[in-house]
Amino acid sequence: MLFSSDENKMRVKLWGVRGSLPSPQAPSTLEQRVKEVATLALEQGLKPGTIEFESWFNALPPHRKGGYGGNTPCVEVRTSKTRIIVDAGSGLRALGAELMQGPCGKGQGEVHLVFTHFHWDHLAGLPFFIPIFVPGNTIHLYGVQADLDSMVKMLFHKPYFPVEFDKIGAKVVVHSLEPREKVMFGDIQVTPYQLDHPDPCWGYRFEHEGKAYSHCVDTEAVRVSREDMGPDLPLYQNVELMVFDAQYTLMETIEKVHWGHAAASIGIDIALREGIRRVIFMHHDPAAGDERIYNVEQQTRRYYERMVKHMREAGEPVVDVEWSFAIEGMEIEV
Ligand SMILES: [Zn+2]
Ligand SMILES: [Zn+2]
């Protein structure tokens, strides 16, 4: 993705976008995909390495090439001065490896990690986060929930993990955040707002230079009207980028009430009402293959177009929403 020259813009990078359980695609699926792409390219006389091949390949939908990704939630929010990690899903492992190239590799690193909640898919990467084992590093962990400290100690505990908490090397500092209270992390302001999940889960609003990113995963979005959202409404207002839960289709949300996840169409409704210009949908269902996720994305496209048409016909103001389903590794400038 190309960025403007303004180095101090806030950027959001998605290191893990799958929900519930790490879900790599089966080797047989990937083999089939490679065969199909090779066959198509040969049929069309495209030679790898040529501009024609590259533009043809780049235009293929995700399920025909790299897919959407199998790691569970981990999102990096950063400016040139500040870096905040949201959740420690399995995507955190690769981010940790990247951080080891900088001060964390020399035992001079300082890491800030905020938790939405403690379901396994948001924790599983922490014991594989290499900077936490390097003496001299300081790892700051933040959460609204009171049991953050005991949760972290439980993760580094035999027989679940071979390294006990008091032997992990880095200094770990646990901080509590107050619901709906702003906190400054360097040049990013962070405010937690409550989401709708079976165990308490907090979304975060990140603000930098007057622009806001809202992280809304995991949520069933039971409260949709402004009135029902109540004190958590600011999570959705005056926002440039929202990352939203789309584990299910709309039909599945009806079958899976209280499972704690939403459908993309709910996020589309909120974005159209609040004028959010950019939305990325993540927490893809671990049971869904890449092709199914692609088909749900197409269904959502039709839903979005229908909604925009209705609004235009009713004479309502419409802000075009640029949205897509998350692909692991995606990076967005806010
Ligand atoms: Zn989750
Ligand atoms: Zn959850």
Q: What is the pLDDT of residues 263-276, one digit of tens each?
A: 999 999 999 999 99
Distance of CA 120 from the midpoint of ligand 2 (Å): 8
Distance 107 CA to ligand 1 centre (A): 31
pLDDT higher than threshold 90 for residue 5: no
Measure 235 CA to ligand 2 centroid, in angstroms: 18
Cα(91) to centroid(ligand 1), Å: 12
Across 121-195, the runs of DSSP E, i.e. the strands, are: 138-143, 171-176, 183-185, 188-194
pLDDT score of 245: 96
Rg (alpha carbons) of the chain, rounded to whole number: 21
pLDDT tens figures, 123-145: 999 999 999 999 999 999 999 99
How far, in Å, is the centroid of ligand 1 from the Cα of 52? 40
For residues 21-42, average pLDDT: 96
For residue 260, report the distance from its CA to the centre of ligand 2, in Å: 7
Q: Which of 291, 248, 263 is nearest to 61 (CA)?
A: 291
- CA distances for 223 relative to 219, 227, 267, 286, angstroms: 10, 8, 12, 25
CA of 117 to the centre of ligand 2 (A): 7
Q: Over 60: is that where the pLDDT of 2 sits? A: no
From residue 39, how far is each of 32, 35, 47, 55 by CA, in Å? 11, 6, 12, 17
pLDDT tens by residue, 210-256: 999 999 999 999 999 999 999 999 999 999 999 999 998 888 888 88
Ligand nearest, relative to CA of residue 118: 2
**What is the CA(75)–ligand 1 centre distance, in A?**
13
What is residue 207's predicted lDDT score, i.e. its pLDDT? 98
Q: Is residue 1 pLDDT above 50, yes or no?
A: no
